[in-house]
Structure 1
């Protein structure tokens, strides 16, 4: 297992890697994309509901101030940070023994160079902190996994809402690997109102939560809004869908 070191202020924006342009699809553009790509977003989950903002399933809002949101919005990569470990287990359920509010994450990978056609057999890695802001290390594997997209470009991860650490907005890292020579890394965020609701519950409440878990992070202010999920309450937790386009 690769050694994991402590995060620094610039870690999440530091690593240069081979890249394809990542795009997200605005909520207003999902219907148009469904026609263009013939894709559907959906899912299911678990028990006691958690109070949450009334938001739609889909990618982060990217609406322009005076009108409809564009279909595709260019989003800069945020880098993989210091906690990436290669060769994660191929699995959908990545929680292991970690406690927290369930989060089902449905991802769809499409090719923007081919009319937003779904891309099959694309590897996607995810990794994140647990409810107390800790990443797995030293042979532990919680909250890490890899999935490969199906014929519709889809895959699902079952995880938990990430906790906060240091100065950074809570996030789920993801890396898209369409082939052996190309990879792109970014992060997904959650609405601040949802985070504050979750952080009032065990085990998150064992620590005093920051008053503004997202907006205290300058990097979220600069790049995170177009990478923010729009979850819906789903049983005991939440479900969110996100479409990643590769140019």
Structure 2
């Protein structure tokens, strides 16, 4: 857990960690103890009842500094933009489809991972899902393909992730279905701002190329998990996949240490030690990242479902 005496860590982070301490027992089974679920499978459109089908022998108590031997994709300190999406000047969506030169990853079936305790369904389809939160502004592009690697149009892709300080938004008052698995104390630290917000939550419908774009900010981190973005795929009213993608450890820690919008603390769990991503082959679940001309980030990856 980060040092809460660090002046860069706000009251909201302290509340976040207090919320973890008081709700960890009840949330542990929901949170990050499930591993990969093998191949994706179709189910009804009720992600709140989704459970991870895989197994994981990790204890979840790792306190690694996040350093590993993965490819170093860091940039020089100061090159990443600060100030959230309001500071972003690069075109949104990008003038060039990042998938024009290929899928940016091998065409392999995307595994299903645990939905976690911080999901609730949202219905607002919007470009900018940051709601003014600080962070490195980020264009998130995802492409959905079928078993033959052909684009899937007309699918609903839902995303959710935490803010720069590791807090999830928690306004589930307009959730379309029951949110019995949502653990407000664990996910928001019962922070009033978070409970009234839906930052970094949104849906988009895939276009003719199978692509969606969101405007947001690079995620923060919270204890026992590596940096990650959750996503869910619904096609013709049926849930096809719930999964997660992550980021290179060195890239994430460089941002956390050197970008003023973050806590100044490296994450406590590396990709290899994470309790959700597979310890072998985690590279298959990491986003491609490019720096745009204004210092904002372009993040992209393809998702394959078995249809």
Provide TM-score, normalisation by structure 1. Answer: 0.71
Deviation at 1:60, TM superposition (A): 7.0
State yes or no: 1:243 paired with 2:302: yes
Deviation at 1:10, TM superposition (A): 5.1
- Bigger radius of gyration: 2
Distance 1:243 1:14, change over 3 A: closer
SS in 1 for 2:166: coil
Mapping 1:1-247, distance limit 5 Å: 7-8=27-28, 11-12=31-32, 13=34, 19-20=41-42, 49-50=79-80, 71-112=106-147, 115-137=148-170, 138-200=195-257, 201-206=259-264, 208-210=265-267, 213-220=270-277, 221-222=279-280, 224-234=282-292, 235-247=294-306
Q: Deviations over 1:167-225 (max 9, x none)?
A: 0011010001112123311111011111011102122135x223654334243325632
**Structure 1 CA distance, aligned partners of 2:30 and 2:168?**
17
CA contact (8 A) 2:107 2:149 kept: no
Q: Deviations over 1:100-149 (max 9, x none)?
A: 0112111111121xx32211110000000001000001341111000001
Deviation at 1:9, TM superposition (A): 6.0
Deviation at 1:14, TM superposition (A): 8.2
Unaligned runs of 5+ in 2: 1-22, 44-77, 82-97, 171-194
SS in 2 for 1:204: coil
Distance 1:8 1:97, change over 3 A: farther
CA contact (8 A) 1:59 1:229 kept: no
SS in 1 for 2:254: helix
Distance 1:158 1:177, change over 3 A: same
Match of 1:44 in 2: none
CA contact (8 A) 1:128 1:135 kept: yes
